[in-house]
A and B are shown apart, each in its own frame.
Chain A
Amino acid sequence: DGGITQSPKYLFRKEGQNVTLSCEQNLNHDAMYWYRQDPGQGLRLIYYSQIVNDFQKGDIAEGYSVSREKKESFPLTVTSAQKNPTAFYLCATRIDRVVDNYGYTFGSGTRLTVV
């Protein structure tokens, strides 16, 4: 079955450490996105990538970095510069051609906690 795999499901980070969240998809979708969700709030866009080796900042990119070396993979690194990284992180994909609604397909998320 095609889908999006985010790992790990839960991640604990010490202050001052960088951590990398994995997002892998086998849907052959062109675009990939990273969103952050804080408790009781909506999703905010961190970074997105439309094609391999290209990515764009979203609304809250500070303290985060990404890479897109393969179509299937879009890892997110939460750096020590991110002052409040504790949140739920969702990866999403989208196909880049005319289809019904251009909606997202989401992964199951990674919950990051700073300890």
Chain B
Amino acid sequence: AQKITQTQPGMFVQEKEAVTLDCTYDTSDQSYGLFWYKQPSSGEMIFLIYQGSYDEQNATEGRYSLNFQKARKSANLVISASQLGDSAMYFCAMRGPGYSSASKIIFGSGTRLSIRP
């Protein structure tokens, strides 16, 4: 069975510092995808970044990068130069094999990130 584990329930970081949010996953599939979503206090889920299991390079989107270590089954999110607006809940998620909508996405329990001014 697939599983996503986020071991940091909450983190406090000083503004402008870099922060790493941990995510490990478990799957026996060769083809899968990994996502990170941000959920501010308003509740909406905002897509941040995606990494495919066959992608050889780590994904980057602006200040976000995904540190993908396939052998260790980890997909940590790195936020460079954190800002006050980064304070939110962050979820790691995994898509199963295949490219149909039957391939469901499962979510970790989340990490609440708080940025200190």
Q: Give residues in A with beta carbon < 8 Å to B.
A: 30-31, 33, 35, 40-45, 48, 50, 56, 58, 88, 90, 92, 94-98, 100-109, 111
Contact = CB atoms under 8 A, between A and B. Distances in A.
B50 A42 contact: no
Interface of B: 4, 9, 33, 35, 37, 42-47, 50, 52, 91, 95, 99-110, 112
Given A45-B104, A48-B101, A111 B43 contact: yes
A23 B4 CA distance: 27
Given A35-B107, A40-B112, A106-B37, 14 more contacts: A30-B101, A33-B104, A45-B106, A50-B101, A88-B43, A92-B45, A102-B103, A103-B95, A104-B105, A106-B44, A106-B45, A109-B43, A109-B44, A111-B43
Nearest to B46: A106
A98 B9 CA distance: 34
Contacts of A96: 100-101
A57 B65 CA distance: 34
Given A102-B95, A108-B43, A48 B104 contact: yes
B45 A90 contact: yes
A104 B105 CA distance: 8
- Which applies to chain A's interface (DSSP): helix, strand, loop or mixed? loop
Contacts of B91: 42-43
Given A41-B110, A50-B101, A101 B43 contact: no
A29 B26 CA distance: 29
A24 B33 CA distance: 26
A101 B36 CA distance: 12
Contacts of A106: 37, 44-46
